[in-house]
Amino acid sequence: MQRKNGQHWHWQWHCTATWSPTVTSEKPINYDAIDNAPVDIFLAILVPENKASEHLDTLSAIATKLNNKDILSRMRKAKTDQELFEARH
């Protein structure tokens, strides 16, 4: 693992499909966010090496969803993995 640009972690992981695990925290964590707000939703984007250029499309789609206050609210209220999955999709 290596830290790049002081903000993003990049590493290699062998996977066969794009995958974006998401984790929420009941108690927000100070994470040196750009807006200085505590963070309570964390995600990663795992992309097959042969589709590395697609990560920007995936990141864009996720960013669009996370700009939706209704989706964020449902993600924060989710009590199960299934509820979190459904809130994000």
User: b/e map of 31-61 (b: 16 or more CB within 10 Å)?
Assistant: eeeeeeeeebeeeeebbeeeeeeeeeebeee
Report residue 48 as tokens. 């097959």
Instruction: Classify 28 as helix, strand or coil.
Output: strand
Domains of the chain, earliest start first: 15-88 (3.40.930.10)
Task: Please tell me the number of Cα atoms within 13 Å of 78 on its side-chain side.
Answer: 23
Predicted model pTM: 0.73
pLDDT, tens only, 4-49:
555 555 666 677 888 888 999 999 999 888 899 999 999 888 888 8
